[in-house]
Structure 1
Amino acid sequence: MASLAPIVLAAEPTAELLAWAEAIESSEATTLEKARQLATRLGAHPRPDGLTEVGFWTPELSGDVIQPRNILLEVFTPRQAIDPARPEQTVLFHRDYVQLEKQGDYHWGVLSGMRAGGASSIGSLYWLRYLSPDTNAVNIVGDPLASSYPYGVYAPAEVYDLEALQRRRGDLPYYEAMAAAQVPEAEGQAPAPFTVPAPCNILQLHVRTASPNGYLSGLTQLFRTLAGKLRSGESLTPVETNLLGYDAVQLLPTEPTVEMRGGQASDQDFFSLRPDDEGVLDPETEGIVIETGDVRVRLRRPDLQNWGYDVVIFGSAATNPALLESLRPDELVDFVAELHSFPTGPIRLIYDLVYGHADNQAIDLLNGRYLKGPNMYGQDVNHQNPVVRAILLEMQRRKVNTGADGIRIDGGQDFKYFNPLTERVEYDDPYLMAMGDLVQEIGPARWRPFVIYEDGRPWPAEGWEEISTYRDLVELRPESYQWGPLIFAHNTPALHGFWARKWRRVCEKMQFGSRWITGCGNHDTLRRGTQVAATEPINPHLGSTLPEVLANAYDNPAIGALTYGFGPGLPMDFIHCLMRAPWGFFRNTDDRFGVKVVAEEAPGFLDWQLSPEQYRDPDLFPALKQLGFTELEPLRRFLTALAEAIAATDHDLERMALACRSAAPADADGDLPAVDVAWLKAFARSFMEDMHAACNIWRHTDRVQPEQAAYNLALRQFRRSRPWLRDNLAASDDRLDLLTTPSTTIFYGIRRAPQQLPGQAPGQSSAVAVAVALVAHMGGEAMAVRLPELFPELSRELSPEHGGGWSLLLASPGLEISAAQLAGEPILLEDSQALLLEPQQAVLSKAISREK
């Protein structure tokens, strides 16, 4: 085996780096401006000359208590090939130690000998180690700004050549076209950054359950296959139809998440040194034992299962390695490139960014300046510290620079701080605006992504659902979008009378919803649907079983017609709703509260998402069946006993185990289990991992209804051909009305295109008027309606004797409309049925002229 060149500090380049940093520190810029400049060179950056720049922000090491020789960069360079597909392997690494240069709160260095990772190989891994003066323990400072963590955030980061990745990406023509569209702000000046326009609609995906193989590579292949069929003119399956007709895809967060930390670290870690190889104190020298040479490291492939919102902030510029089949950052860029090269036009990618809160594991990974204290999620993030603020913005810039066109900012209401000047807790709106101001750059293109805010302030105050305006941030940034009230997590359309109770919010949507993200189904609302107690007033017209009710509530023709065919705003669909696949809250990364989470989440998931017949599928829930839960009912009974034990013992795991012993079935070998704390934790993890596998949409393709999939695609095409629908209803001419009884809710209305359509010159008006009318049965018993009674203002002009009439544009599956019904005969509408109509254009023109 060939020897490796030692990793050493390059004196002259390091001196130049220190001089650059010193010039910034001594400048007249503000503290935040200085920090933002310095943040651009934190982390590890391969240089064209083969050297590697390294920078750490280390305020916890800024004093003179720790001797410089006891703060060392530890580098592990692979001596043999690493197979990313293997669940576990032991790999030989060469370990080097280098002392970086300390300057104020930072450590800097330019090194030779570090190996950068690429598309097919893992590069050098690195972190700082220092000797604690308080405990004499050797502690770790990881790099929170790295672009790759192939073995998780508790392992050393990887040196990765991002510049080379950008040069070989497959969508460079997309960025060349973007650069060509940049317009100079003034003659002789550089072009202003391109502003990415908002899409027509959005498809929301969770990578691990939307991908056929559970990785980003599977999504890339999926869209590549779909693109190939479109280019060759092949017919699409109903499942593939559900992926078509979108010009944006939004991924649930793809950043690294929390990891399982219970039990012995060696059993849980993805990167494990032998105890003899860990850094320790040398009692003779009072320094860290330094043994440069070869070491063996046990590597375990990350198998994290999580929605993605349990972030640790650390590593947020990178991709969760559990989403990468190859463990290479290229996998995300390949997916972006596939979307940007789609044959029907580029599909834009939206990242879901979580910077408002952190899991408690962030305490282990970040220095204390990053965090302010506990909250209901874990920890509040200290955005007010200027260096933290700068680093978080730099993390975001690097992440989005993988090629995203838009960003969704999660939980805007979480960005709060105490203002000592006003002595009030205030929202950090300047930071939220700064997130939308960042400029991205790939090749010749410079752009600002479009911005979506999720903000429900004053959440979590009592009554926030009714108090929130959902407009605070779009009023500050008018070109942005904000999640509207009809797509927020508290919506439960499976309940009887839901849409009648939401009428006020529906009216608000029509009045000023043009900057709202609209729709009904997403990752939050579908999960919320499973939390509805079966004893509540369920709408029985949606189905004969709870799974049918849930599927029809969230993949609903009437809601689709309202969202896509009539209402303003930017629609978003969740793939699990379209596929009618199971969905729930899952994570296999929680050893402390995992049992409690399962007790809370599992009963609703089983009631609303699975039938006993589906549970018997031999491919579903194998781990639970191995524990003895071969049928659904015994599992439900055990979960009931578990929930009762939690309530009776206040989550005392020892006492809970005793209380649940009699409810546990015999395992697959016929033996009664010894139910103890370890068994309860194993049960909880088995349930979560089985549930995660059951939520993969490709296990449930038989649930897709071809007629419904075709109708949904027709709705998407309908809206795309009428871009004016995204605007608010005109106050004078347009309306949406409610027809309601104790048992039925009907929405009906009409809206007209503006007289000057997009693309027309100022003052140029349409030769003919365009209008869309909606009649939608939003829930309850069947009701007969007559079009002349719903639209009396048009009844005369639309009568046969005046040569007018209604044209049927689109009807929901199963709804057949005759010419006589269009002329005024009764139309019997059943729950969830809807139709979109157009009055004959010449007649509408007369009606508009008379109104004027």
Structure 2
Amino acid sequence: MVTTKLKIQLLEEETHKLIEWVEQIEHSDHTVFEKAQKVATRLGAHYRPEDGLTEIGFWTPELESDIIQPKNIYLEVFTPKKDIDPTLPTQRVVFRRDYVQLEKRGEYFWGVIAGLKAGTKESFGSFYWLRYLDWETNEVKAIGDCLAYSLPYGVYAPAEVYNLHSLQANRQDMAYFLRDKSEENSDEIVYVHPPHNILQLHVNTASPDGSLAGLTELYQRIGKKLVQKEKLTPAEQNYIGYDAVQLLPVEPTVEYRGKHELGHGFFMIDDKDLDEMDAESEGIEHEPGNIKITLKKPDTQNWGYDIVIFGSSATNPSVLRTLRPDEVIEFIETLHNFPTGPIKVIYDLVYGHADNQGLDLLNGRFMKGPNMYGQDVNHQNPVVRAILLEMQRRKNNTGVDGIRVDGAQDFKFFNPISGEVEYDDQYLQEMGNIIQEIGLSKRHLFAIFEDGRPWPTEGWEEMSTYRNIIDFNPRAFQWGPLIFAHNTPCLKSFWERKWRRVCEVMQLGENWITGCGNHDTLRRGTQVDPNLDINWNLGKTLPEVLNNAYDNPSIGLLTYGFSPGLPMDFINCTMRAPWGFLRNTDDRYGVKVVSEEAGGFLDWQIIPETYNYPDVFPRIKAMGFTKLGELRQFVTALVDALAESNYDLDEVAHICQRHLGHDGESEEAKNEAKVRKSAAELQKLNGPDKSQVLTELSVAKLKEFAKAFMEDAHELSNVWLHQETLNADQVAYNLALRRFRQANPWLQRNLKESDRFNQIQDPEKTLFYGVRYTTVEEDSETEPYGVAMITHMRGEPMTVKIGEWLDLDLDQWQIAIASPGLKIDDLKAFELHDSQAVLLEKKML
């Protein structure tokens, strides 16, 4: 049984102290933005362990006017009266509901409250949100805490009061944070050193059970094996040899707003218990007391980038097995204390755009207007700007070592002085300058920026320098030109087209993120038209081509054994698991999204043998789509029908019914098929063994299809389903390359004038080769260490004479790493086939 010691109530004296602090800030000489930054640190719910009180602050400019009576704006609190089991799919829980009147000051509401229960690792705390009566509609609406520390039931549910102090005090990696701090200067701010390489992970598909706790257990198991010198499986080997991991965004994302079997959302209050307006008093009817609430464990599936901004200071509950923020800390401390050496953790942050659901959750000052992703974020509003940076500061303080800023080119504003739209480089710099504070440790985090300006201008990929951030912040890293979303190494012409960019990597790339496979490029690979000039040396089927293009021995050796920059891999590439734009969160546009994603997913990542496995695509098969060919054809027709109807689902359902129903063989239908592409594609499904489901397609059935496909694809993308198909030699080769890179950190630097890099390029083949050396002092007697490499990037076999091409005395060189299956009897002349590569190192006397 959960109890609270004190009655939940506002303490006036303590509240006035808080308000006095705010007023001192407001009356100071600081700029408007600086004032907003200081005030933002007190927004949200802050539990004070020293006296058990909780400070509460909300920014509510939409309630600034005095139209709404004070009695109709209040804090609603739900405190569980019994323990909540976070592992249960659903449960009915009794809560004590209380109401507290907060103090209004301008655009803010403040309060210091007694009696609120703070959540811990072991138990849930009180839940809270602000309620008010909408004077236009007479509806009782809620304002959630956009700066919450814990949102266990999602962004549409009340936030949880959390004991952040106990969470930080109990962490097991404090020594890690203090290791670079000087004893003489307690206020020293340490710069986090960049890692040597990065592994990119999507928690739901990289973890055996889809949670951060599952990833923590995985690394603990691997660490234990390494200590005991036990052999790792190929799948486990794919997770080591990195000194950093980058999590795809773990902030709260959009949620499914349609109705499910229990109602709506994850925190369901019965209709009879919802607050309503009393017509006589024109006030909200509410009485403290016990109510039952239905809780549904969040099961949102999303690739992470459909952010709502709201709650970005917290962690998406769908990646938390326990729904506890402690799960994040335990993952970080496990990697920091990894037995073979610390592994850094990097957050992938999305603050440049928001999904349209952000309009429902945030006040109107947060957004500037629509864009291709949903909404532009209004970074120019000083309070919004301060809150966004405060969200990031709170997230940084979970103990990560670096950040990656998604879509940095999206941070733009109209400058009335210049009359032009400009990039907000100042804001990007502020993101990189946020100081992390963990105990006595203060650190500047390592920062990566994805910035492809002038994207989305036509031709941007050739126009972009990929250096705009680096030019004003030399400590920063940017995504380089070969790792952006337009990376398609499955095409024969790719390396020929990218030769200029490859040379730039060699000359300028030391502050670029390098590599080939990531969450964007692997998805981009599935969007390639199969009718283009594919490099069929990479495989006999499209899935083989895709896997060998993004987990390629030649590209891997070029990246890790020779190229400047900071290499990054994506676990779905090295595990050869499917991937795509995965989300089960969209009731409105779900059919459109699936139509755009499903065709490439099925063509490039699924073969009939895979589809025929009983456990693959179970939801789609249960609907009646049991044949892969039929499913592919239906998706093709669906794309055309949606385009022709301008995404009118009613019209799409009607055309499906006309051509796949009882009248599908009519002359009218056949004539329409002569002039309408979607009709012609649907007609191809009218065979003698047509599945029954095709005759039953309504709007509801189309939405069911979209959700089922996404959930099946998400399930299939879990990398652990594919561990038995891994090639042990390829995995060992990749690990050897990673270890070589870590042993040779000098490779990150740009090539010197004395180094060489060149290509052999003709219509039949493309090979890269080069040599580079370490730097030694002029008066040093030490010979420089060197590496030489030759990589076959595509095409026909060729006899290699690397000694002649690079003017090397091969008696002084030896093989460091060779791609799997490559046998070299004589370094003077040997044959290389497509995707084969060899790295030589200079013998050191």
Whether the 8 Å CA contact 1:627–1:667 is kept in 2: the answer is no
Are residues 265 and 456 of structure 1, via their aligned partners in 2, closer, same or farther at CA, if it must alter by over 3 Å? farther
Distance 1:706 1:265 in 2: 45
The corresponding residue for 1:41 is: 42
Whether the 8 Å CA contact 2:792–2:832 is kept in 1: the answer is yes
Residue of 700, 716, 719 corresponding to 2:741:
719
Name the Cα RMSD after superposition: 1.8
| Residues 1:827 and 2:830 aligned together | yes
TM-superposed CA distance for 1:486, in Å, is 0.4
Distance 2:656 2:325 in 1: 45
Distance 2:184 2:248 in 1: 33
Gaps of 5+ in 1: 185-189, 757-762, 843-852
Whether the 8 Å CA contact 1:248–1:347 is kept in 2: the answer is yes
Are residues 504 and 3 of structure 1, via their aligned partners in 2, closer, same or farther at CA, if it must alter by over 3 Å? closer
The corresponding residue for 2:774 is: 753
Whether the 8 Å CA contact 1:24–1:34 is kept in 2: the answer is yes
Distance 1:419 1:513 in 2: 32
TM-superposed CA distance for 1:660, in Å, is 2.4
The one-letter code of the counterpart of 1:489 is A
What's the CA shift string for 1:629-687, capped at 9, x where partnerless?
12211211211221222123221111211222416899999777632100000000000
The corresponding residue for 2:765 is: 744
| Residues 1:472 and 2:468 aligned together | yes
The corresponding residue for 1:131 is: 133
Superposition map of 1:342-361 within 5 A: 342-361=338-357
Any idea what SS the aligned residue of 1:418 has?
A: strand
Distance 1:428 1:769 in 2: 44
The corresponding residue for 1:489 is: 485
| Residues 1:686 and 2:708 aligned together | yes
TM-superposed CA distance for 1:175, in Å, is 2.1
TM-superposed CA distance for 1:266, in Å, is 6.7
Are residues 578 and 671 of structure 1, via their aligned partners in 2, closer, same or farther at CA, if it must alter by over 3 Å? closer
| Residues 1:838 and 2:841 aligned together | yes
Distance 1:183 1:388 in 2: 38
The corresponding residue for 2:788 is: 773
Are residues 671 and 488 of structure 1, via their aligned partners in 2, closer, same or farther at CA, if it must alter by over 3 Å? closer
Gaps of 5+ in 2: 661-681
Residue of 813, 818, 821 corresponding to 2:820:
813
Are residues 211 and 454 of structure 1, via their aligned partners in 2, closer, same or farther at CA, if it must alter by over 3 Å? same
Any idea what SS the aligned residue of 1:700 has?
A: helix
The corresponding residue for 1:735 is: 756
Distance 2:349 2:583 in 1: 19
| Residues 1:53 and 2:55 aligned together | yes
Distance 2:261 2:619 in 1: 24
TM-superposed CA distance for 1:375, in Å, is 0.6
Whether the 8 Å CA contact 1:36–1:394 is kept in 2: the answer is yes
TM-superposed CA distance for 1:469, in Å, is 0.2
Whether the 8 Å CA contact 1:151–1:271 is kept in 2: the answer is yes
Any idea what SS the aligned residue of 2:529 has?
A: coil
TM-superposed CA distance for 1:69, in Å, is 1.2
Distance 2:84 2:56 in 1: 24
Are residues 730 and 534 of structure 1, via their aligned partners in 2, closer, same or farther at CA, if it must alter by over 3 Å? same
TM-superposed CA distance for 1:455, in Å, is 0.3
The corresponding residue for 2:435 is: 439
The corresponding residue for 2:73 is: 71
Whether the 8 Å CA contact 1:497–1:780 is kept in 2: the answer is no
The corresponding residue for 2:672 is: none
The one-letter code of the counterpart of 2:32 is T
The corresponding residue for 2:83 is: 81
TM-score by length of 1: 0.94
TM-score by length of 2: 0.94
Whether the 8 Å CA contact 2:625–2:691 is kept in 1: the answer is no
What's the CA shift string for 1:490-539, capped at 9, x where partnerless?
11000002112100000000011000000000000000000001100000
Superposition map of 1:766-805 within 5 A: 767-792=782-807, 794=808, 798=809, 804-805=811-812
Whether the 8 Å CA contact 2:53–2:113 is kept in 1: the answer is yes
Whether the 8 Å CA contact 1:311–1:358 is kept in 2: the answer is yes
The corresponding residue for 2:671 is: none
The one-letter code of the counterpart of 2:790 is V
What's the CA shift string for 1:168-227, capped at 9, x where partnerless?
11212212324x34773xxxxx43211110000000000000000010010000000000
The one-letter code of the counterpart of 2:226 is L
| Residues 1:407 and 2:403 aligned together | yes
The one-letter code of the counterpart of 1:33 is E
TM-superposed CA distance for 1:51, in Å, is 0.7
Residue of 478, 502, 520 corresponding to 2:498:
502
Distance 1:622 1:524 in 2: 27
Whether the 8 Å CA contact 1:370–1:388 is kept in 2: the answer is yes
Are residues 348 and 668 of structure 1, via their aligned partners in 2, closer, same or farther at CA, if it must alter by over 3 Å? farther
The one-letter code of the counterpart of 2:495 is W
| Residues 1:608 and 2:615 aligned together | no
Distance 2:257 2:371 in 1: 20
Aligned residues: 817
What's the CA shift string for 1:797-816, capped at 9, x where partnerless?
x27xxxx4431111111111
Any idea what SS the aligned residue of 2:789 has?
A: strand
Distance 1:265 1:486 in 2: 46
Moved more, 479-488 or 76-85: 76-85
The corresponding residue for 2:33 is: 32
Any idea what SS the aligned residue of 1:267 has?
A: coil
The corresponding residue for 2:454 is: 458
Whether the 8 Å CA contact 2:302–2:585 is kept in 1: the answer is yes
What's the CA shift string for 1:372-415, capped at 9, x where partnerless?
11111011101001111111000000011111100000000000
Moved more, 262-271 or 403-412: 262-271
Distance 2:645 2:693 in 1: 27
Whether the 8 Å CA contact 2:2–2:80 is kept in 1: the answer is no
Distance 1:764 1:378 in 2: 60
TM-superposed CA distance for 1:298, in Å, is 1.3
The corresponding residue for 1:847 is: none
